Structure 1
Amino acid sequence: MNNRHIYVLSAVLALIGLTLFAYKSQVLGFPLQPQEQTRVWTIEAAVRFDPGPAAVKATLRIPNLTPGFSILDENFISRGFGHATRSAPAGRESQWTLRQATGPQTLYYRAQVYRDASRIAEDTTPPFPEQPVLDEPSRIAMEGLIAEVRRQSADVASFTTELLRHINHAERDPYVSLFMSRGSAPADAAELATIFLAGASIPARIAHGIQLRSVPGPVQSQQLLEVHDGVQWLYFDPKTLEQGLPPDFLIWWRGDEAIASLEGGSNLDVTLAVQQNLLDSMVVAERRAELTGSHAMDFSLFALPIATQAVYAVLMMIPIGALVIMLLRNFIGVKTFGTFMPVLVALAFRETRLLWGIVLFAIIVSLGLLIRFYLEKLRLLLVPRLTTVLTVVVLLMAGISVLSQKLELQPGLSIALFPMVILSMTIERMSIVWEERGASEAIQEGIGSLLVAAVAYVIMGIAWLEHLIFVFPELLLLVIAMSLLAGRYTGYRLLELRRFKALAPSGSGP
């Protein structure tokens, strides 16, 4: 198999892994940091009224198109009322109905919203508005104002800004003052602007929203003017003339209507409140995947039982440890006893901790090696010899645990977590290397194995890396890609440069 096939396969695996990672992190919002939290605001509308003798129908405008924010969850709270939600020109509406009610009533709408930069107003391009129906003097004043503002502007945005400036200085503008003196215009600047913009054939509407803040308590709704420039909606503050959505501004409803309406009752009052909370980002991501219809959570490790998740949280780090061993062996040149032995020892270090783990490992291997040399003199066959060594290892581990209990050394009790078979095979392998290549080579490989296990333990113990691999297991495809590429490496290892130093040409003297 040629190198091109390896390169293409590695590139495909890396591309798949990075694509899935980007989708889950950028689109679904899977957290990149452990214990990452997302700011979530709880918004609440309390609708209070006194019912009449007839049937009651209370309607509340609720958030729908909220640029920059998404709704995580919402609840409708009432006692005995029928409830339904529906779409309306102003957005969405929540309607409570009851055949007969007695005493003051309070209905609640509560929702959790979070910042979502990918969220935009996804409504379609609006049609050109109809010309407002005005009397002749008002129509002439409107046309004069539009002509003057058009001369002072270059596009829809600047036209809107200039128009609002004229409206805010109505006492000094002859067209606006004449228009208002005829009684044809509302007193509200945003509503008046929509009339003039309709006369200029520019789609516009009023957006009502609240300022999300960290201090809990009641808030007042504010108005923004939305103007469509043919491509997108632009936002203007009708008082300050500032363009754009203010920071942490949540659009609640749109249109000229009030936030709530009531049939069959009186004394309608609506109170808005907001409270900021911190929520686990993973919970937000799960909810976002559910709302978007994504099956990413169904096929993630989070779909497993909690006990199984704890097991895979450890198992998913084994490929990372193997990657560390591959780099240290193939590129650095560190000698070890086998490939997977250091990884399993590194896993045992997670419980014994590094220093105590090295000490316990050295004690077990040293004592087991002495027993192995003694068994060599008995000239036993391979399988009986390994069985004997394994049994000796178990007895040594049990003896060290009992001794640690007597000496009140808690780390010594964790020695049972060491993989017994791996220790037995290490002792066997080390004794063979000792006999065939000498004590120096055996000790070098033993120290190398401990060194690699220690490095793997440090890397596998990084909390951020554990979180990243567990939440984005597709990143292990990158490990496979790197392993495939490293499998074709035939160059020098770093520690081999010392071996071939004598072959390097000596520098010539002056």
Structure 2
Amino acid sequence: MNNRHIYLLAALLTTLALSLFAYKAKVLGFPVMPKSQTQIWTIEAAVSFTPGPAAVKVTLRVPALTPGYSLMDENFISRGFGVTTRPAPAGREAQWAVREASGEQTVYYRALVYRDPARKAEDTTPPFPEVPRLDQASRIAMEGLIADVRRQSADVASFTTELLRRIGQGQNDAYVRLFLDRTATVADRAHLATIFLAGAQIPARIAHGVALRERSGPVQPEVLLEVHDGVEWLYFNPQTLQQGLPPDFLIWWRGDESIASIEGGSNLDVSLAVQQSLLDAMLVAERRAERSGSHSAEFSLFSLPIATQSVYAVLLMIPVGALVIMVLRNFIGIKTFGTFMPVLVALAFRETRLLWGVVLFAIIVSLGLLIRFYLEKLRLLLVPRLTCVLTVVVLLMAGISVLSHRLGLQPGLSIALFPMVIIAMTIERMSIVWEERGAYEAMQEGVGSLIVAAVAYLVMGIYWLEHLVFVFPEMLLLVIAAALLVGRYTGYRLLELRRFKALKIEGAELKS
């Protein structure tokens, strides 16, 4: 198989891994950093009223499409009321109904919202509004104002800004004076702006919302003017004339209606409150995936039982340790006993810690090697000899654990986590190398195994890397891609350059 096929396969795996990573991180919001927390806000509307003698219906406008924010969860809290939700021109409505009630009543709407930059405004173009029906004098004033503003503007945005500025002058503007009195509120000026914009055949509507800022006590809804320029919705503050949707503004409902209405009752009052808090980013991402219809969270490792998650948190780091061994062996040239023995030893180091792990490993291998040399004199067959070595290793581990416990050395108890079969095979392999190639080679490979295990332990112990691989297991495809590319490497290793340095010098002298 030629190199081109290897390169294409590696590129395909890399692209797939990075694409899945980008989708889960950017679209679904899976946390890239460990222990990430997402800022969320709890918004609450308390609707209090006095019911009448007959059936009561209370309607509350609730958030629907809010650019920049998404609903994570919502609750409708009441006692003895039936609750239904339905779409409405203002967005969404929640209606509480009861056939009979007495005394002061309060129902609650509570929702959790979080910042979602992917949440955009509706992209449908609204129809042109109908021309307002006004009396003769008001119509002439509206047409005159529209003509003046149009001459002093270049597009919909500048037209709206100039119109709001003229409306803000109130009694000082001859055209506006016919429509507003001195007690006009910001909502009144925004409503008047929609009338003038309708006369100019520009779609507009009023948006009511709250600023998501930590504060004590109830909050008052604020007003924005939404204007469609033929491409998208533009946002204007009728009071400050500032264009753009504020970053902390949650649109609650739209239209000229109030936030709530009642049938069969009186003394309706709505109190709004906002509270800021932090929530685990993974929980928010799971809920976001659920609401968007994605099954990524359902098929992620977080759907497994907690105990199983803990197991895979360790297992998923084994390929990372194998990647470390691959680099150290193929590019550095460090010799080890076995290919993946250092990875398993590094896993044991996670419990014993590095220093104690190296000491305990050296003690077990040294004592086991002495026993192995004695068994060699007995001329045993391979399988019986390995059985003896394995049994001796288990006894040594048990003895070290008991001795450590008596001495009060807690790390010594963790030696039971060492892979005993791998250690037994390491002892067998080391003794063979000792006999065939000498003690220096055996010690070199033994030290190399410990060095590689230590490096693998340090890399596998990076908490951020462990989090990244667990949340985005598709990143292990990058390990496969790297292994494919390294598998075709046939150049010198760093230690080989030092080894053949003398030959290189002699060759240069011969040429000279």
Report the TM-score when normalising by structure 2: 0.97
Q: Is the 8 A contact 1:351 1:414 kept in 2?
A: yes
SS of the residue corresponding to residue 504 of structure 1 reads: helix
CA distance in 2, matches of 1:430, 1:358: 17
- Cross-structure match for 1:226: 226
Map residues 33-432 of structure 1 onto 2, 5 A cutoff: 33-122=33-122, 124-180=124-180, 188-432=188-432
The alpha-carbon distance between structure 1 residues 226 and 507, as it changes in their structure 2 partners (threshold 3 A), is farther
1:276-301 residue CA offsets vs partner (Å, 9 max, x unmatched):
11111111111111111111122111
Deviation, structure 1 residue 171:
2.8
CA distance in 2, matches of 1:214, 1:401: 55
Q: Is the 8 A contact 2:179 2:192 kept in 1?
A: no
Q: Is the 8 A contact 1:50 1:267 kept in 2?
A: yes
1:39-79 residue CA offsets vs partner (Å, 9 max, x unmatched):
11000000000011121010000000111000000000111
- Cross-structure match for 2:22: 22
The alpha-carbon distance between structure 1 residues 389 and 165, as it changes in their structure 2 partners (threshold 3 A), is same
Greater Cα shift, 470-479 or 496-505: 496-505
- Cross-structure match for 1:476: 476
Deviation, structure 1 residue 178:
3.9
CA distance in 2, matches of 1:216, 1:188: 27
CA distance in 2, matches of 1:442, 1:216: 72
CA distance in 1, matches of 2:294, 2:216: 33
Structure 1 residue runs without a partner (length 5+): none
SS of the residue corresponding to residue 261 of structure 2 reads: strand
Deviation, structure 1 residue 140:
1.1
Amino acid across the alignment from 1:471: V
The alpha-carbon distance between structure 1 residues 326 and 184, as it changes in their structure 2 partners (threshold 3 A), is closer
Q: Is the 8 A contact 1:179 1:185 kept in 2?
A: no
Q: Is the 8 A contact 1:134 1:184 kept in 2?
A: no
Q: Is the 8 A contact 2:186 2:238 kept in 1?
A: no
1:144-180 residue CA offsets vs partner (Å, 9 max, x unmatched):
1111111111111111101000110123322212444
SS of the residue corresponding to residue 43 of structure 2 reads: strand
Deviation, structure 1 residue 217:
3.3
Q: Is the 8 A contact 2:55 2:97 kept in 1?
A: yes
Amino acid across the alignment from 2:406: K
Deviation, structure 1 residue 185:
12
CA distance in 1, matches of 2:354, 2:59: 65
Greater Cα shift, 263-272 or 7-16: 7-16
CA distance in 2, matches of 1:471, 1:378: 53
Deviation, structure 1 residue 186:
10
Q: Is the 8 A contact 1:11 1:481 kept in 2?
A: yes
Size of the aligned set, in residue pairs, is 507
Structure 2 residue runs without a partner (length 5+): none
CA distance in 2, matches of 1:367, 1:437: 20
Amino acid across the alignment from 1:395: L
The alpha-carbon distance between structure 1 residues 294 and 69, as it changes in their structure 2 partners (threshold 3 A), is same
Deviation, structure 1 residue 507:
9.2
Deviation, structure 1 residue 122:
2.3
1:430-478 residue CA offsets vs partner (Å, 9 max, x unmatched):
1111111111111111111000000000110111111111111111111
CA distance in 2, matches of 1:417, 1:121: 56
Amino acid across the alignment from 1:51: P
SS of the residue corresponding to residue 384 of structure 2 reads: helix
Deviation, structure 1 residue 237:
0.4
Q: Is the 8 A contact 2:186 2:223 kept in 1?
A: no
The alpha-carbon distance between structure 1 residues 187 and 171, as it changes in their structure 2 partners (threshold 3 A), is farther
Deviation, structure 1 residue 11:
1.1
- Cross-structure match for 1:2: 2
